[in-house]
Amino acid sequence: MTRALVRFAPSIALALAALSPLVLPTYQVAVVTYVMIAAVACLGLVLMTGIAGMVSFGHAAFVGLGAYVSGYLSSQLGWPAWIGLACAVIAAALAAGLIGAITVRMSGHYLALATLCFGISFYFLVGNSEMLGRFNGLTGIAPVSVAGFELRSERQTYYLVLVMLVLVIAWCRQLLSSRTGRVLRSLRSGPVIAETFGANAHHYRLMAFVLAAVIGAVAGWLYAHVQRFLSPTPFGLTASIDYLFMTVIGGSGQLWGALLGAGLVTIIKHELQDLLKFVFGPTTRLELLVFAAIMIVVLQKARRGLWPFLEQRFATAIAPVAGIEPAIMPRRRAKPEHGLTVLSAGRLRRSFGGLLAVDDISFDVKGGEILGILGPNGAGKSTLFNLISGALSRSKGELSFLGSPLSKASARDMCRRGLSRTFQHAALVQDMTVLENVAIGATHLGRRGLFASSLRLDRVEERQLLGWSMHLLDRVGLADKAFELAGNLSLGHQRLVEIARALAADPVLLLLDEPAAGLRTNEKAVLADLLAELRAEGLAIVLVEHDMDFVFSLADRLMVMNFGRRIAVGRPEEVRADTGVQEAYLGAAA
Ligand code: ADP
Ligand code: MG
């Protein structure tokens, strides 16, 4: 019962929201209207902070920008509100595009500081602008009219705001479940996943920044035409921090969290003010302190915010998306001819400070071949993978891929050329489903972007990408886990999902960093069969693995590394017989 209640809570809340103006007193209708406007603003922050992992202390300024653009056009030039909305959105997109182009590359606190500066400057800029009414404010803003009917009363504006809120939520949901959305959702854990699968992480971060600003501007537009009076105060730093609080408390990674957070924070603040005034007298301003204390307690109990907390406690597994049939991707890359050199590395070298992690390594790998790399911990195997896959730049050496030399190739380029990899430490987006994680691998096979997915023009492509992902999950034996959250899988299974994701990019060369670690014996056998099958299809595979039986039975050739250097290379039986190898590494095993 409770589970069903939580699961359907959003729909129930919306139904209640639609009916409540009919019973609530006018004052409360107005309060809920402002809560919903704040929720719209928070949805922008959910995209930027919760989903894409960038903190903003200047969100209220974008809300203000939207409000002032439309407010000015309405009050001074008499332009209709709907045209004001278009102008507000364009202005916010331009401003965020400009600011974002400079700041989004910055990491962590630098970006937060940059948004803080923007937020503060906006407040003073508006407050000192004659044209915008200085700190006294801008009056005479017209209401929104729909088909010639002006929305003036509290109840009328309530429905306007409710409709806009529902539209923004629907659009965000649509976006987040699309190809673009999957990449955005991978950004919170850093740019690595996006870049590894052919997406420009910087572009997507910028997109999240601009989208947050645009949604903020929509909230500002609503505010301007509901309140019909503007002053800089609701768009200052305090407001930005309030939005951040609302988003974080509600659950910054969740759309519904924005709603919950906006509601709770408004109510708590309001009630606190009344209560503390009653207890300590009208002049004390203790509410901020008490408020902060409440926030800290809440976040201690529910680190990811209240919505995920509730969901985890009460909800059953997420609803499966019905009707995704396994399918082969059309237009696949031709596999290299058997025996054709796919990758050749010459005298690769990489140092970290004084440490030579990879020292003069040369090797090649051919289509239809599995090359095993052995070596004790710290030998430089993962670093070698990072050099080949473009994740790290090399200090020296040459690489060529399918016959073309690579002077400087990023991870993104390498993915597009046909290299795909897994990581030693499974790097899945934990709060996305297994199927969606695999589909990230296929990102560069799709074409549909933000606009197509907003208008639902991406359905055919989505069916292909998800069907292809399902097919690969089937190949690694995890089709039945497709709709579970990746974070709920065992580590062994997460590795298999990573392999499916790597295969989703349709590679010609596959780099696997310890794929069998954490797998049970029977799972290892399944993996060995899969790798043998892939080899038969013509894939070139480079495999780092500690399980000797696994590597020796599977690999066509082996390369052994120690202290960054290559100490042996050859067929498994040759390597096993090599005395140097036995001394350096195999020791007990040999
Ligand atoms: P392996 O995968 O064979 O266990 P790695 O390639 O991870 O070895 O590491 C090789 C050596 O390089 C180790 O000594 C490790 O500490 C060092 N190393 C790896 N990555 C970095 C880094 N980003 N910065 C500094 N040192 C590193
Ligand atoms: Mg390693």
183-to-175, 195, 297, 497 alpha-carbon distances in Å:
11, 10, 32, 17
The alpha carbon of 374 and the centre of ligand 1 are apart by a number of angstroms equal to 15
Q: CB of 305 closer than 6 A to ligand 1?
A: no
Answer for the pair 472, 438: CB distance below 8 angstroms, yes or no: yes
**Strand-pair category, 396-401 with 341-352:** antiparallel
Q: What is the DSSP string of 322-387?
A: S-----PPSSPPPPPPTT-EEEEEEEEEEEETTEEEEEEEEEEEETTEEEEEE--TTSSHHHHHHH
Q: How far is the centre of ligand 1, averaged over its atoms, from the C-alpha of 483 (Å)?
A: 35
pLDDT of residue 317: 44
Q: Is the CB of 469 under 6 A from ligand 1?
A: no
The pLDDT tens digits along the chain (590 residues) read: 566 666 677 778 778 888 989 999 999 899 999 999 999 999 999 999 989 989 899 999 999 999 999 999 999 999 999 999 999 999 999 999 999 998 888 777 888 899 999 999 999 999 999 999 899 899 999 999 998 899 989 999 999 999 999 999 999 999 999 999 999 999 988 899 999 999 999 999 999 999 999 999 999 999 999 999 999 999 999 999 999 989 988 887 788 888 888 888 888 887 887 887 777 777 666 777 887 888 888 878 877 788 777 776 765 444 445 678 888 888 888 888 888 899 999 999 999 988 999 999 999 999 999 999 998 889 999 999 999 999 999 889 999 999 889 888 899 999 999 999 999 887 899 989 999 999 999 999 988 888 888 888 888 889 999 999 999 999 999 999 999 999 999 988 999 999 999 999 999 999 999 999 888 998 899 899 999 999 999 999 999 998 888 999 999 999 999 899 998 889 988 888 888 777 776 554 43
- The CA distances from residue 298 to 39, 41, 264, 269, 306, in Å, are 19, 22, 12, 15, 8
Does any ligand 1 atom lie closer than 6 A to the CB of residue 379?
A: yes
Distance from residue 380's CA to the centre of ligand 1 (Å): 6
Distances (CA, A) of 255 to 132, 259, 281, 322, 405: 33, 7, 38, 22, 46
pLDDT of residue 318: 47
424 Cα nearest atom in ligand 1: 2
- The closest-lying atom of ligand 1 relative to the alpha carbon of residue 513 is 2
378 lines ligand 1 (CB under 6 A): yes
Q: Is 377 in the pocket of ligand 1 (CB under 6 A)?
A: yes
Which of the ligands is closest to the CA of residue 381?
Answer: 1
Residue 381 Cβ inside 6 Å of ligand 1? The answer reads: yes
Q: Which helix (H) or strand (E) holds 543?
A: strand 540-544
DSSP state letters, 137-179: -B--PPPPEETTEE--SHHHHHHHHHHHHHHHHHHHHHHHTSH
* pLDDT of 297: 86
According to the model, what pLDDT value does residue 589 have? Answer: 45
| For the CA of 385, the nearest atom of ligand 1 | 6
Domains and CATH numbers, the chain: 23-236 (no CATH), 339-418+507-590 (3.40.50.300), 428-504 (no CATH)
Ligand 1 centroid – CA 514 distance (Å): 15
pLDDT at site 457: 87
Distance (Å, rounded) from C-alpha 217 to C-alpha 61?
9
